[in-house]
């Protein structure tokens, strides 16, 4: 990756992955869904007699959208797994488990970061001077 100053530092890449760690897995599973559709012959035009493994996957874009639908568990639109391919059912389960693991790991990291009281205590600094003002008829610290 290039920026104005040259190559983007490694910290940026790690920060980007921390912002949404699920995106690489969406792409990986989109490739898996596309390969399943390709191997089963679902992408071949004109063969309407075959029951597809996943309905309405016609390109990599639709496989990518299906991957997002599975992992984010927003529900399925027109794309859904059929009982034609046991491998597709297994991949569906694996992708759901991977998505749950990613969410659990990120939630654990966030909780660990916010639960460290000693680091928060180091950021609190008290002044030697106090500012007092009259607010709603009472003296208050600012």
Q: Kindly report, residue by residue over 85-122, the tens digit of the pLDDT.
A: 999 999 999 999 999 998 898 888 878 877 777 766 67
**Contact assessment for residue 64 and residue 27, using Cβ atoms and an 8 Å cutoff:** yes
What is the pLDDT, as a whole number, of residue 98? 92
Cα separation of 55 and 37, whole Å? 9
**Contact assessment for residue 103 and residue 111, using Cβ atoms and an 8 Å cutoff:** no
Q: Is residue 88 part of a domain?
A: yes
Nearest in space to 98 (alpha carbons), one of 31, 28, 40, 45? 28
Domain residue limits at 129: 22-141
What is the number of domains present in the chain?
1
Q: Is residue 109 part of a domain?
A: yes
Residues of the chain with pLDDT under 70: 1-22, 46-49, 119-121
Q: Is residue 126 part of a domain?
A: yes
Q: Is residue 1 part of a domain?
A: no
What is the pLDDT, as a whole number, of residue 41? 87
Entry pTM: 0.67
What is the pLDDT, as a whole number, of residue 90? 96
Q: Is residue 110 part of a domain?
A: yes
Q: Is residue 10 part of a domain?
A: no
Q: What is the CATH number of the domain that holds 42?
A: 1.10.287.70
Q: Is residue 6 part of a domain?
A: no
What is the pLDDT, as a whole number, of residue 5? 57
Strand partners, 3: 6
Q: Is residue 16 part of a domain?
A: no
What is the pLDDT, as a whole number, of residue 2? 47
């Amino acid at each position: 990756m290039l920026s104005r100053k040259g190559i983007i530092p490694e910290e940026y890449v790690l920060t980007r992955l921390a912002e949404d760690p699920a995106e690489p897995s969406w792409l990986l599973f989109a490739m898996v869904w596309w390969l399943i559709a390709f191997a089963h012959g679902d992408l071949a035009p004109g063969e309407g007699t075959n029951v597809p493994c996943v309905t309405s996957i016609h390109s990599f874009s639709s496989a990518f959208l299906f991957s997002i639908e599975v992992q984010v568990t927003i529900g399925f639109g027109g794309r859904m797994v059929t009982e034609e391919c046991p491998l597709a059912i297994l991949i569906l389960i694996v992708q759901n488990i991977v998505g749950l693991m990613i969410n659990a790991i990120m939630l654990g990291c966030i909780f660990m970061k916010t639960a460290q009281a000693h680091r928060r205590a180091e950021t609190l600094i008290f002044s030697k001077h106090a500012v007092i003002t009259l607010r709603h008829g009472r003296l208050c610290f600012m």
